[in-house]
Structure 1
Amino acid sequence: MGDVDGFDEFYRGSRQRLLGCVYLLTGNLAEAQDAVQEAYVRAWQRWSTICTYDDPEAWTRLVASRIAISRWRSLRSRARAYLRHGAVESTPGPGIETVEVVRALRQLPEEQRTAMALYYLLGMSVADVARETNAPVGTIKARLARGRIALAPLLALDAEEVADV
């Protein structure tokens, strides 16, 4: 039973029993399915060894149970941390200015939009933007200039202010 057909036969013959067992441990079908799936993945990866065991299903059941318990412990730890530290403060939504800028940026060609985002929003240098986008430095400078000019009417900015930037 050391080949693909052997694993398929093993899987078909044991999947329902294994899922039922892990479901009884977790009380949650989705968690049980995830744990069993991960156990079968691990069994498949080691199938040449596991198929020689007296009871490959026992090995897979043990692995699935340990995965389920590990996930339960992780959830329990997160719940304790939540109780200890409280809820994370919610992040406020974007301001109207941010929404307007995003709307305006969406109207630019992709190359200009990318250059503008990398340069102005991420603070990358022109040389870094050029390296990131595989474009010459001069091309990036032109994209930035054209992007600023295109954004001015979209954001109702003074064209002279934009040219000075």
Structure 2
Amino acid sequence: MELVVEPVPVAERGARVVDFDEWVAARGDALYRLAYVLTGNRADAEDAVQDALARALPRWSRISEAEDPDAYVRRMVVNAHTSWWRRFRRSESPVAEVRPDAADDPDVEEHDRVWRACLALPPDQRVAVVLRYYEQLDYDEIADLTGVREGTVRSRVSRGLAGLRAELEGDHG
């Protein structure tokens, strides 16, 4: 008789088992995209996601029972990024990537221009704008994720959009 050892489910929701590996396989790409938009580069995005997931794993039984585990771990990614830029405040000046096809495609140039403008925003404004318009979260959800008041979120989004407008108008003028 062969002994079959099956993994013990971490948490159950109704009939569905929410296993950490299964959850990461389903949501990992979305977490990476969020981190990439927040950080502006692949290496830092991977670090932020890895840090968040490393912190989530030992707490997974509690996190998976939360009303919205996705929101919980998204906040962990945002917090990982915030902790990083607080620790290593450094100024970066993004440089345009030279790609052979960029000259032929105006959408690529526009995307790069908007991306550079977004990277020029202060980190707290960039986080608020990304969560509002990239993740399409409401102001109260962003306030919960970032640990600030809703009014502060609205102010950061407003200032971030004003900064983007000024930067993008300055490019044309």
User: Fold conserved (TM > 0.5)?
Assistant: no
Give the structure with the larger helix fraction: 1
Q: TM-score, normalised by structure 2?
A: 0.42
Question: Over alpha carbons, which structure has the higher Rg?
Answer: 1
Higher relative contact order (CA closer than 8 Å, sequence separation 6+) = 2
